[in-house]
A and B are shown apart, each in its own frame.
Chain A
Amino acid sequence: MSPVLQGAITILVGVGGCIGYFYLANLILDKVIFPARRDDAGRNINRANAVRPWLFLVPAILALGLYLVYPVVGSFWRSLFNRGGDEFIGLDNYISLIADEGFRTAFFNNFLWVLVVPAMATFLGLLVAQLTDRLRWGNIAKSLIFMPMAISFVGASLIWKFVYANDADIGIINAIRASAGMDVLDPLQVPFWNNFFLMVILIWIQTGFAMVILSAALRGIPEETVEAAIIDGANPLQVFFRIKVPQIMGTIVVVWTTITILVLKVFDIVYTMTGGNYGTEILPSYMMSYMFRDDGRATAVAFVIMLVVMPVMIWNIVQARKEMH
């Protein structure tokens, strides 16, 4: 069977199965379990309506339980075992993580990423959103800046490999250096700063996301408040920072935390660009380097990542809820 046919059948079975489930479950509930007939009609309709939400919720709850809750608990359990998974070693995996120099580097680098990437992406996104707001060609500029969003992290990394290429004929960085009479070097091997060169890639991708959301938020600001501020004597910078930014603070926070969560998950860029060498390891790529070799250790790292993401995530959800009301 051709893969295309296989895919089509899968989709049909999946979607058809869902529709069939809801249709049949409803039918059985109304006609067989609580039929609205004779004396019991009124009471049965009420009972059926009390049960109905659960019909719709149960599949989702089961799926979430199977694919979300079980893996979390399962991973934690696995992280308490040794490399082969046959010997219970308690928190040893975690203890040796803390003792490991590589883990500490990854943790520190990740800290830098979380500090720099969301801040820069949000800041640049806000800047672009504001600057292109009134321009006739603003929408073209915005589409160009948004485009990297559509590229996978691996694809983006490949593009930036050319930018950073260790060859003045390929890499623009080295081309510029060469034209200034400087030696060719590999930017990805410059200690410490190579972290930032990698961050640039994610900033390049995420600025578009921040820009789109913040641009919509800026448009939502009542024009009159800006006009009132102009009459009150505020200059453009004051209007921006004291009238506009505070009014979209909620959205800024949501964008910021959303990118933060993403940063804590991205391993592709480091994996593709340096493979975690030259001191550029971050937690997700560090985890990858242990995967399939020492699953106990890898799951321990995964758990640490989850613990770090959790507060940001909760904060994000709280803010997003506030925005909705």
Chain B
Amino acid sequence: MADLKLTDVEKTYGGTVRVLHDINLDIAQGELIVFVGPSGCGKSTLLRMIAGLEKITGGELEIDGMVVNDVPPSERGIAMVFQSYALYPHMTVRDNMAFALKIAGKSKAEIDKAVAAAAEKLQLTNFLDRLPKALSGGQRQRVAIGRSIVRDPKVYLFDEPLSNLDAALRVATRLEIAQLKEQMPESTMIYVTHDQVEAMTLASRIVVLAGGGVAQVGSPLELYEKPNSEFVAQFIGSPSMNLLSGEIVGTGEMTTLRLDEGGGTITSNYPSQTSDMGARVHVGIRPEDMLETSSGDFAYHGTVEITEALGEVTLLYFKRSAPENDPVIGKLNGIHKSLRGQDVRMTAEPDKVHVFLNGVSLLYRDGNVFLPGVQPH
């Protein structure tokens, strides 16, 4: 049983610089939680507070139902894998992995068994007597993971473990971590990353941190399909969601919207109240949900300025009437180079049209949504 509970956790540096506040999270045993967020939002800080490397200046952290705010790192039942691997350079792979057990005073037989098992699991058996400097980046990362496995911790903490690897190795190691998680269904993992693909593929739930707080927590698809705010909507997914200004012109189970640019109307699955009639909103449509249309119901109408044909898809960049706005992007299946310079109308299915009132999704208007007040990228 290793569940984590964070209650109103806060971090201030030097009494004045508040980098995290009101962090409330319930993490169940066996989950793989991924922290994402813009650079400098406090992901590493939060992870290090859970590890015990950083003092918790407010709120409570419980592991297994026990408050561990003042428990030293080694007694929290956690293991951490650092971005820089943090292997002990003067010790062989074997000694790196055995260090924690030696400190804990385990018998030699026990240590050998644990190290051998971990090495086996991570295909490190042939490297046990090498020093870290004689290993490749991927092998070092595996040693770092092995070092945490031998301790058999309740919670694994990863701080951007793959960011120092090249693209191909990153994919391979990501799969290894996914397999590792499958082999150890009962252990909890918390994983910090910048990489959307890592977050979407590994996570059982994603925590979006921004502006010192939690913007949204949910399964990857929940965040993708039902972002609670413009911030999360634009943060998850690449290229980010298009946001277009408009007005509510029809309310009810479905909402009808008229867009400022191009003057088209479009329907969204989001419900609205009668009092919303005439409200100024942002309409959000993901590039991959944009469809070409010739009908009068369209979301956007503009001239294609640039096309990027990537083979499987083509990205269309539209000219905006106001140049300070981000370009509207459409992602169409197949190759459509001929659309460059053309006037194109785009629309989307009603269930792909998101509506944000004052930055908050209409779906979450009754909830307590934290708006980070920073740009997503």
A interface residue numbers (CB < 8 A to B): 222, 224-225, 227-234, 238, 242-243, 246-247, 249
Determine if B100 is an interface residue (Cβ-Cβ < 8 Å): yes
Whether A231 lies near B90 (C-beta < 8 A) is no
Chain A proximity of B162: nearest CB distance (Å): 16
Give 27 pairs: A residue, B residue, CB < 8 Å, sorted on A.
A224-B82, A224-B85, A224-B86, A227-B80, A227-B86, A228-B80, A228-B86, A228-B87, A228-B147, A230-B53, A230-B73, A230-B74, A231-B51, A231-B52, A231-B53, A231-B79, A232-B74, A232-B100, A232-B147, A233-B103, A234-B74, A234-B99, A234-B103, A242-B99, A246-B88, A246-B91, A247-B89
Name, among A227, A238, A243, A246, the residue most crowded by chain B CB atoms within 10 Å (CB to CB): A227
Per-residue interface assignment for chain B, residues 64 to 86, with 1 indicating a CB less than 8 Å from any chain A CB and 0 otherwise: 00000000111100111010111
Name, among B53, B87, B104, B151, the residue most crowded by chain A CB atoms within 10 Å (CB to CB): B53
Using Cβ atoms and an 8 Å threshold, which residues of chain A touch B86?
222, 224-225, 227-228
What 18 new A-B contacts, CB under 8 Å, besides A224-B85, A224-B86, A227-B53? A225-B86, A225-B87, A225-B88, A228-B86, A228-B87, A228-B88, A230-B72, A230-B74, A231-B52, A231-B53, A231-B74, A232-B103, A232-B147, A233-B74, A233-B100, A242-B99, A246-B91, A247-B89
Using Cβ atoms and an 8 Å threshold, which residues of chain B touch A232?
74, 99-100, 103, 147, 151
Chain A proximity of B328: nearest CB distance (Å): 43
Chain B proximity of A115: nearest CB distance (Å): 26
B interface residue numbers (CB < 8 A to A): 51-53, 72-75, 78-80, 82, 84-91, 99-100, 103-104, 147, 151
- Cα-based distance from A228 to B51 in the complex (angstroms): 10
Q: Looking at the complex, which one of B80, B88, B100, B151 makes contact with A243 (CB distance below 8 Å)?
A: B88
Is chain A's binding surface mostly helix, strand, loop or mixed?
helix
Chain B proximity of A322: nearest CB distance (Å): 13
Q: Looking at the complex, which one of B73, B89, B91 makes contact with A231 (CB distance below 8 Å)?
A: B73
Q: Looking at the complex, which one of B78, B84, B99 makes contact with A224 (CB distance below 8 Å)?
A: B84
Query: Can you list the 9 inter-chain pairs with the closest CB atoms, starting with the nearest?
Result: A233-B74, A224-B86, A232-B100, A246-B90, A228-B86, A233-B103, A231-B73, A224-B82, A225-B86
Whether B73 lies near A238 (C-beta < 8 A) is no
Name, among A228, A230, A233, the residue most crowded by chain B CB atoms within 10 Å (CB to CB): A228
Q: A227-B53, A230-B74, A231-B74 are in contact. Are A238 and B103 (CB under 8 A)?
A: yes
Using Cβ atoms and an 8 Å threshold, which residues of chain B touch A238?
103
Chain B proximity of A143: nearest CB distance (Å): 25
Using Cβ atoms and an 8 Å threshold, which residues of chain B touch A227?
53, 80, 82, 86
Chain B proximity of A214: nearest CB distance (Å): 16
Using Cβ atoms and an 8 Å threshold, which residues of chain B touch A233?
74-75, 100, 103-104
Chain B proximity of A187: nearest CB distance (Å): 42
- Cα-based distance from A224 to B86 in the complex (angstroms): 5
- Cα-based distance from A238 to B84 in the complex (angstroms): 22
Q: Looking at the complex, which one of A225, A229, A234 makes contact with B89 (CB distance below 8 Å)?
A: A225
Whether A229 lies near B88 (C-beta < 8 A) is yes
- Cα-based distance from A238 to B74 in the complex (angstroms): 14
- Cα-based distance from A232 to B91 in the complex (angstroms): 14
Using Cβ atoms and an 8 Å threshold, which residues of chain A touch B99?
229, 232, 234, 242
